[in-house]
Structure 1
Amino acid sequence: MIAPAVTASTVPRSVRLGYGVGSFCTSTVNAVPGLLLLYYMTNFMAVPAWLAGVVVTVPKVWDLIVNPLVGRWSDRTRSRWGPRRPWLLAGACTLPIAFFLVFAGPPLTGVPAALYVGACFLATATAYALFEVPYKAMPGEMTHDYHERTSLLQWRMIFIGAATAISGVLAPAIVTSQGDDGTLGSYRLMAATIAAILLVSMLGSFFGTARAPMTGAPEADRGGWREQFAAIKGNSAFIWITALACTQMLAVSMMLAAAPYFAAYTIGTPKATQTLFAALVGPMVLTMPLWVWLSKRFDKRGAMMLAALLFGGGTAATMATPIFGSVYAHLMILLVGVGIAGVQLLLFSMLADVIAVDAAKTGKRRAGVLTGLWTAIENGVSSFGALIFGIILSLGGFIESEPSRPVEQPDSAVTAVLIGQTTIPALIIFASVLMTLRYRLTPPVVPAPDASE
């Protein structure tokens, strides 16, 4: 049975915490492979850079199929746990195992290694969809207050900051614990550690959202795919927030894939990956109250533009790292972290608004379909970040290797790393600022669903 509608506008703190802890999963699963998988394949399994980029991309394109399916299924689920939570549990039972297998490091190299990693990463993407899509659909159904959605998601962003620290600091630290570049054994240890964290966080979110209120429409949309896609096609706010998310996450995925290379070949030590991510995480945790205030002061669209300008400005300024050195790079990443904090918070808050408006206008529960399409398109597009960076490396003459056969990279490859980390992502981010102008959903046009439905 569907959880009853409520009239209270405040989500209990225990539910906010229970919901937020799930971000240890959603952030870590994206960040760790985005940060380490390309480097792991090119430098440990002798996979050519272009092929490694394809391996990272193809399973994410699969999201274009599986995410909308999971969203539709969760919309139509009826259970004593509500429509979303059974799927959270299904993801918790499958994702940690699949994630570990990605980095299990069997004795394979070249094309066979690429095929193995690709198959395991495809399984990971499928298991992740079971959790991610229902999880991201929930905020739009917990409250009908325009600004409370931002406040609710502030808790999620704090956990994302902590998860980013795990992804960007702990995971690389485990990998490099047995040498500057790591070993296959250290990658296995990292994967087992992250898998355990995923399991705990996903179960924590499943149990922590048991008392989550449901304020959305009680009936699922029973229309076919054609009718649902036709309705979404006319939802301009959904189209623009999806396009905006795709653009920004494409830049983020490029920077994640480039980070270990930037640390190794621009700064000069692979261990700089950890300190760079520490610089990124601090602002994400500390600036959440500021971004909540700015979203009220300048509305979400104005705050989003400011966040993207800080994000893009810091990324562009990082191009000068070869001139000013490591300390300068870390300071610029601090600025990037401030911008990313605002971008991430406001993206999810805007998506929750779109879901609430759709429910109010249609009288149907389509949060799963909307979220499934949003995450599928976003993941599919952002997955090209690693592919684009892999192609840039290949064009720059980057030479794949194994730990037993270290190589000296040509200057052109080092330049390609810098361009892939800074120049191209900055241009993409600045394009998103212009796209934000087309987003029109503001408080006067955000109706509250009828809680009596």
Structure 2
Amino acid sequence: MSDQMAALPQAAADHVAARSAPVPLGQKLGYAAGALVDGTSLHPLNIFLLFYVTSVCGLPAGLAGAAIAAGLVVDAVADPLIGSSSDRLKSKWGRRLPFMLAAVPIVALSFTLIFSLPSGLNTTLLFLWLTSLSISLRISVAAFLLPHQALGAELTDNYAERSTIMAMRWAFFMIGGLLGVVLGFGVFFSGPTGLTVRSQYPLFAMTLSVFILVGGLIAARSAYATRGREHEPQSEPVSIRSFLEDIAQVFRSASFRILFFGGALFFIGFGLNTILGLHANTFFWRLTSGQMQLITMAMLGGLLLAAPLAGPILSRLEKRTVLMGGVGSLMVIETAPVLLRLAGLFPFEGDVLAWILTGASLVGGAMLGAAGIATASALADAADEHEFLFGSRREGLYFAGWAFSNKASSAIGTLVAGLALQMMAFPTDLVKEGALSINLPQQTINLLGLAYGPGAGLLSLAAILTFITYRIDRKRHAEIITALREARERKV
């Protein structure tokens, strides 16, 4: 055992018995309901926001991409501080609950306002207003999400049960996304011009904010009931010095670095693909609103289907294998149909095309969802390894680091998407240009397809080559947990 293990605080063994006991089903479900906060806000944001602010509100695509990216960048910088503060917080409510309670109402309010942009503002004021709301929404979601994810890693030390908890959280995360898609395409934006009706967007956002508030409050109640399972915070509160030391220590972990940089590569491509999704579906594939709803729901349905599938899959395969397989499936689905279309080998149109893309989205969503669950569970395993190596618990900072990788890279993807639209001279104010019936040059349509598909797919391939070096497996994790328990028992 390393000399660093001696640094384990005396209080580290206080809740070992609680974490060794199975988590009651009600507490698992209550915890998982918190994923409605980020699922109901982030999925609709990624699907509808860029289209809303450019095609409906008339903000130039480059400025829109910059404003949305600004929220992601500021949030990404704030994530490590939120995670470190959560790890070190001492309160009678535990380390995580105070952050969650403070964040939920701000998430709901910011989400409503960002889809209620005032009309009549000039370009500069509209850009500044969107930027401010983007930052507010992203930071408040992070202030809830990161402590909530860290709490999930603390509920149990059991390798298999940890994946089950993450699968339940994933299910509620996807339910939130499905709510956004169903209410968006099916209710508020239905019809051939539904996406261009500005007055529907505030009603859409207010409706989803109700689900955000309900999910957050249920999760807060569960967090209070399970606070006895949390690890004890270090005695020293967060400071500039301790924060920088924590960051440096986390990046000394090879497992964290692999997940961090692999995630960065993946999320740049995924952000590019997601942000350009409405544009590509409308002008490259020429799908109707109903067909887009079907395809998007299939992807979200596949992601939701991953929740019950992840348990059996992860019981047979290592988490690294599931992660790589999910990203690889998405890479094929992003790239193959576009390349085949451009090569003249994918002539399908209308309903036939929609059903083919729907089936591909369903399969890809299920595999990608299993990869997401595997990643969350792997991060918790890596946090155990961190304690073994360095004698400190850093769940919050590990999930913050993953979120930083996600958001900073998604910001790059969003910015690239906005710049790509601008470089290909894509029209911004479609309401004035003739709504969705405008005829675009074929070169613009082809460039849109290449950016949306193969451009994103190449980055997924780079992510796979990074994830292949991850080394924590079932056997290694069991050795780590045994060593940690022995060290804690000697300290009692």
TM-score bracket relative to the smaller structure: over 0.9
How many angstroms apart in 1 are the aligned matches of 2:336 and 2:440? Answer: 24
Name the residue aligned to 2:95. 83
Aligned partner of residue 383 in structure 1, secondary structure: helix
Query: Contact 1:221 / 1:366 at 8 angstroms: preserved in 2?
Result: no
Determine if the alignment matches structure 1 residue 230 to structure 2 residue 248. yes
Report the Cα offset of residue 131 of structure 1: 0.4
How many angstroms apart in 1 are the aligned matches of 2:277 and 2:181? Answer: 10
Report the Cα offset of residue 66 of structure 1: 1.5
Determine if the alignment matches structure 1 residue 185 to structure 2 residue 202. no
- Give per-residue Cα distances to partners, 1:130-156, cap 9 Å, x unaligned: 101111111221111222211111111
The farther-off stretch of 234-243 and 179-188 is 179-188
How many angstroms apart in 2 are the aligned matches of 1:433 and 1:78? Answer: 39
Query: Contact 2:87 / 2:397 at 8 angstroms: preserved in 1?
Result: yes
The gaps in structure 1 that reach 5 residues or longer are none
Aligned partner of residue 224 in structure 1, secondary structure: helix
How many angstroms apart in 2 are the aligned matches of 1:251 and 1:221? Answer: 41
How many angstroms apart in 1 are the aligned matches of 2:410 and 2:86? Answer: 24
Question: Larger Rg: 1 or 2?
Answer: 2
Query: Contact 1:53 / 1:390 at 8 angstroms: preserved in 2?
Result: yes
The gaps in structure 2 that reach 5 residues or longer are 1-10
Name the residue aligned to 2:8. none
Name the residue aligned to 1:395. 423
Select which of 414, 417, 433 maps to 2:445.
Answer: 414
What amino acid maps onto 2:140 in structure 1?
Answer: A
Determine if the alignment matches structure 1 residue 199 to structure 2 residue 213. yes
Report the Cα offset of residue 21 of structure 1: 0.9
Determine if the alignment matches structure 1 residue 159 to structure 2 residue 172. yes
Query: Contact 1:312 / 1:430 at 8 angstroms: preserved in 2?
Result: yes
- Give per-residue Cα distances to partners, 1:158-185, cap 9 Å, x unaligned: 1122122123332333441474333111
Q: 1:195 to 1:416 in 2, by over 3 A?
A: farther
Aligned partner of residue 94 in structure 2, secondary structure: coil
Name the residue aligned to 2:61. 49
Query: Contact 2:146 / 2:399 at 8 angstroms: preserved in 1?
Result: yes
Name the residue aligned to 2:474. 443
Q: Percent identity?
A: 22
Determine if the alignment matches structure 1 residue 127 to structure 2 residue 140. yes
Name the residue aligned to 1:143. 156
Determine if the alignment matches structure 1 residue 105 to structure 2 residue 117. yes
How many angstroms apart in 2 are the aligned matches of 1:65 and 1:28? Answer: 23
The farther-off stretch of 221-230 and 7-16 is 221-230
How many angstroms apart in 2 are the aligned matches of 1:169 and 1:383? Answer: 26
Name the residue aligned to 1:262. 280
Query: Contact 2:56 / 2:196 at 8 angstroms: preserved in 1?
Result: no
Q: 1:2 to 1:210 in 2, by over 3 A?
A: farther
Q: 1:32 to 1:327 in 2, by over 3 A?
A: same
The farther-off stretch of 274-283 and 177-186 is 177-186
What amino acid maps onto 2:415 in structure 1?
Answer: L
Report the Cα offset of residue 360 of structure 1: 4.0
How many angstroms apart in 1 are the aligned matches of 2:179 and 2:13? Answer: 34
Report the Cα offset of residue 189 of structure 1: 0.7
Aligned partner of residue 39 in structure 2, secondary structure: helix
Select which of 399, 402, 415 maps to 1:371.
Answer: 399
Name the residue aligned to 2:333. 314
The farther-off stretch of 320-329 and 413-422 is 320-329
Aligned partner of residue 11 in structure 1, secondary structure: coil
Q: 1:345 to 1:202 in 2, by over 3 A?
A: same
Report the Cα offset of residue 217 of structure 1: 4.1
Report the Cα offset of residue 402 of structure 1: 4.7
Name the residue aligned to 1:240. 258
How many angstroms apart in 1 are the aligned matches of 2:289 and 2:327? Answer: 28
Query: Contact 2:30 / 2:221 at 8 angstroms: preserved in 1?
Result: yes
Aligned partner of residue 78 in structure 1, secondary structure: coil
How many angstroms apart in 1 are the aligned matches of 2:459 and 2:229? Answer: 37
The farther-off stretch of 222-231 and 302-311 is 222-231
Report the Cα offset of residue 361 of structure 1: 3.8
Name the residue aligned to 1:170. 183
Q: 1:119 to 1:79 in 2, by over 3 A?
A: same
Q: 1:205 to 1:216 in 2, by over 3 A?
A: closer
Q: How many residues align?
A: 453
Determine if the alignment matches structure 1 residue 68 to structure 2 residue 87. no
* TM-score for both structures, normalised by structure 1: 0.93
Report the Cα offset of residue 90 of structure 1: 0.6
What amino acid maps onto 2:112 in structure 1?
Answer: F
How many angstroms apart in 1 are the aligned matches of 2:454 and 2:182? Answer: 24
What amino acid maps onto 1:375 in structure 2?
Answer: A
- How large is the RMSD of aligned CA atoms in angstroms? 2.3
Name the residue aligned to 1:5. 15
Name the residue aligned to 2:461. 430
How many angstroms apart in 2 are the aligned matches of 1:409 and 1:169? Answer: 29
